[in-house]
Every structure is written in structure tokens, then in C-alpha cells.
Amino acid sequence: MSALRLLGTSKSLFSASSRSFSHNANSSEPSFLDSVDAYFKEASALVPDIQPDVLEIIKQCRTVHKISFPIKLGTNEKTKKEETEIIKAWRCQHSPHRTPMKGGIRFAPDVYEEEVIALATLMSYKCAVVDVPFGGAKGGIKIDPTKYTVNQLESITRRYAAELIKKNMLGPGVDVPAPDMGTGEREMSWIKDTYEQFTNDLNASACVTGKPVTQGGIRGRKEATGLGVFYCIREALSYPEDCKKMGLTPGLKGKTAVVQGFGNVGSFSAKFLHEHGVKVICIVEKDVAIVNEEGLNIEELLLWQAKSRTIEGFPGAKRTIKENPLSGIELQCDILIPAAMENQITSENAHRIKAKLIGEGANGPVTSAADKILYAKGALIIPDILANAGGVAVSYFEWLKNLQHVRFGRMTKRFSEAQLIFISDAFQQSTGKTLNIKADVGDELNLVRSGLLDTMSTSYAQVREVSHEKGCSMRIAAFICAIRKISKAYEQLGIFP
């Protein structure tokens, strides 16, 4: 006889206020989805040329698939009985204005349906802002991945993928997942392999992105989101008039930064800032914050974290905050990157935020109530649907690579090198001077980073232009850009006159 363990039956488990980083239990604070809807409503009022019924269709989430399935955990050593657990999961497809739909899968003990819907909604807008031809989707499995063995996680991931395949919610032209919180290259490989077992699709590798390079992944995907955040911050500091409004000088060098969350996005954001002359004075995690006003050495901190599995105790820190680690985001600094979870900056702590430039590495870290407070204070917020879109941009490149069945640069690298050598020789003959030619000019990583830089800088400029045109924040301008592009897509499909 098996013992059956049910998860997610308590209503409190579905509360956003129970999240590990969350600190605000005030029910008057807007929920994650409420904040997204509030931004959409504010942006909608600034596009009077788009009809209300069109706006309503753009806003609505199309499909939410709830999944429950049993997983065998093995024999309990105490009871000698085989244990089985019911796993709860979701996949939400927000908008099919472009196909396939795209969005990560997160493993978290407190993931809940409304959160998945909000994340899928943001994905639709995010893809539109950076001109990636995907509709928005998102998935979540309600587990704490640290409490399962690798074999158990593999069983859960493969079963989840199989359930999506049964509903035609997974495939290169249908819905293409990617990593999110609690997942990575390993889980994406399992999903790819499961899909291949169910189908004879020649393009099966394109059913998921964020895979290891050996499994059809692309170089540069792992750091793409953090690098995209960095590119946006650098772009924001390249406009002298905007810097003047913030009370900052143009450029990165000498600026100070605080980063909340030292996972994939936060660590790479901090790394790139550090490498370009920014002093990262504080790293905030859910259980501890470390501070050094002279700047933390991010390379050394990454090595320490890899060895110790925590940032606590890092020798390069001069001060540690354990009682209320989240207070670290309130330190005096030029740049703040909230890269942890949603609803971290609320109406309760927004007044204490001193950063002049905020780049949202996480999705929805600032509530709509807090957003108004920060905007009134003169802070420039680079919104999540722009700042952290680097991941989906490079996922798009990976998807294209899988469909084309050829590595980026394979057919052009030698040709490009030959052209540069020809130019170098001609230059040397005419001037007597030598040009320094980089032999790796056509490598996949360089091509990916070049494409990412172009995507982020172009999108930032578009959003900034709309912000000036409408006299609104960068966030509302980003939503306006998304609404216009999605509306145009529907119009081209012949759905609207």
C-alpha cells in the first residue's frame, strides 16, 4: 500500500505574501497580476486609436492548463511503504498573435495559478517590445527542487512534458518553453528528449530553448538575461539629458550598484557591471545581504558561492545583514537591480529606495503602487518587459538555429576573416600600419552577443522615444509599444478591420 502526499491544498500556499523574498502582508497592496493589469490600463488610455474591444482581446489570457499527476518517491525508510506524491502544475498561453508561444517553466514551492498567468501576460508584451515573433506563455510546477533527488526531478519534468504533449501544448511551432526559476539546461534537455520520444519531428530540438550547447543550445544563452539588463543600464546612462534628470553623470564608471538576487540573472548583471567599472556595494539574498561600500569583487564572490552554496561568510564583505536582508535594497546607490522575485518594492518600502536608476532583472519586482511613488521621486525604471528581455531574445536565436540545423557563423566565419585580412593587407600597403584583426569575429558567441546588443539598444531607443512622445514613464511607454505591435499583428491576421 502506498502513502499519498497531497500538496497545495492550503489556500495560504497560493498567497503571494508567502514567497521567500516577500515581506509585505498588506492585502491592500496590488497583486502581481493586478499590477500588470494596472500598467496595461494606464498605457491603453494613451493609445486612443486602438479600439476598446481590441484592447480587451489583447489583455485576456487565452488558455490555462491545470495539471495534476502522481510521482513515486520510493520507499519510506521508517514506514517501509512506497510513497507517492501528487504534483500540481500549470501551463498558461496568454496570446497566440504570434506562434509559437514562448515562456519559461519555474519550479517553486509557492508558484500559483495567478502568478503563472501574470508571467505569461508579461511574456506576450516582452516579446512584442523587443520584436521577437512569439506569443507569451509560462509554466510552473509547485515543488521545491532542492528537496528532490535528480531521478525524482527527472520523472517530474518528463511527466510534465508528456502532459503538455498530450494537449498539443509543446512543440517547435506551438509552444516553446525555456528555463526559469529552479530550472536550467538539465531540465530543458529532459523536455527535449521526452518530446523526441513522442514525435518524429525533424525540428524536435526547437521544442525548447535554454538547452546545453551539446543538445542544440546556443552559446551565450546562459548569461543572456543578465547581459541584457547590463546593456539596458549602459544605454540609459548614455543619454546626457536623462542622466542630468537623475542627477548622474553619463557612463558606468564610478557608479555604485545594489543587486537583489544572486541567481542566474543577478549574478551575471553584477558581473558585467563590475567588469565595466561599477562598484557593486551590496548583494541581497533571501536570508542574508553582504555589503562593502568600496565594492565587492564579483568574480571572487561567484567562486565563494560555488564552493559554499551561499554568499554568507564571503571574506570580501565588510558588513552582513541577517535580521532584515531586504533592507539592503534601501542603501544609497546609483543603480538598483531587483533580480529576485515579484512584489519586492511596494508602497511600504518605495519611499526608502534611494537608487536613481532601477533595472528590473526579475519579473514584476515593483508593484504598481510603488511604481508611482518611484516615478514621482524622479527614479528612472527600466521595466521588466524591456530590461530582462535578453533571455527571450537569445532564445529566439537558439530556436532559429535549431530550425536551420546549422551553427551560427559556420558558413560565414572563414569568409568574414578573409575579407578582414584583405582589408588589413590593403591598409598596411597604403599606410605602412597594421590593423589588429580578431580571428573570432564570426564565432557563434560573438554573433549572439552582437544580436543581443542590437536588440536591446534598439528596443530601449524605441521605448524612450515613446516615453518622450507621451510624457510617461519608461514602463508605460514599453506597454504602449507592446500594445501597438500586438494590435498590428492581429490586424495583419485579418481579425480586426
Please give, one letter per residue, the 3-state secondary structure of the chain.
Answer: CEEEEECCCCHHHHCHHHCCCCCCCCCCCCCHHHHHHHHHHHHHCCCCCCCHHHHHHHHCCCEEEEEEEEEEEEECCCCCCEEEEEEEEEEEECCCCCCCEEEEEEECCCCCHHHHHHHHHHHHHHHHHCCCCCEEEEEEECCCHHHCCHHHHHHHHHHHHHHHHHCCCCECCCEEEEECCCCCHHHHHHHHHHHHHHCCCCCHHHHCCCCCHHHCCCCCCCCHHHHHHHHHHHHHCCCHHHHHHHCCCCCCCCCEEEEECCCHHHHHHHHHHHHCCCEEEEEECCCCEEECCCCCCHHHHHHHHHHHCCCCCCCCCCEEECCCHHHHHHCCCCEEEECCCCCCECCCCHHHCCCCEEECCCCCCECHHHHHHHHHCCCEEECHHHHCCHHHHHHHHHHHHHHHCCCCCCCCHHHHHHHHHHHHHHHHHHHCCCCCCCCCCCCHHHHHHHHHHHHHHHHHHHHHHHHHHHCCCHHHHHHHHHHHHHHHHHHHCCCCC
Tell me how far apart the terminal alpha carbons of the chain are, to the nearest angstrom: 61
For the entire predicted model, the pTM comes to 0.87
- Nearest residue to 384 via CA among 459, 475, 456, 466: 475
Q: Which bin fits 408, alpha (ψ -120 to 50), beta or left (φ > 0)?
A: beta
Where along the chain do its domains lie? 2-215
All three cell numbers of 474: 519608461
Collect all residues with Cβ–Cβ distance below 8 Å to 198 and sequence separation of at least 6: 162, 165
pLDDT of residue 313: 93
In the prediction, which pLDDT does 439 show?
Answer: 53
- The reported pLDDT for the residue numbered 27 is 56
pLDDT digits (tens, 9 = 90+) for 395-410: 999 999 999 988 766 6
pLDDT at 453: 96
The predicted structure's pLDDT at residue 116: 97
Spatial distance between the Cα atoms of 136 and 117, rounded to a whole number of angstroms: 10
Q: Which pLDDT score is estimated for 430?
A: 78
Q: How many CB atoms lie within 10 A of CB 437?
A: 11
In Å, how far from its chain's centre is CA 160? 22
Active site residues: 138
Give me the average pLDDT of each 10-residue run along the chain (497 residues): 35 32 56 93 95 92 95 81 92 93 96 96 97 96 95 96 96 96 95 95 95 94 96 97 95 96 95 97 96 96 94 94 94 97 93 97 94 95 97 96 82 63 70 66 83 96 97 97 93 65
371 CB contacts (<8 Å, ≥6 apart)? 35, 39, 381, 473, 475
Distance between CA atoms of residues 39 and 128, nearest Å:
16
- Look at residue 147 in the predicted model and tell me its pLDDT: 93
For 295-305, write each residue's pLDDT tens digit.
999 999 999 99
Return the CATH fold of 2-215: Rossmann fold (3.40.50)
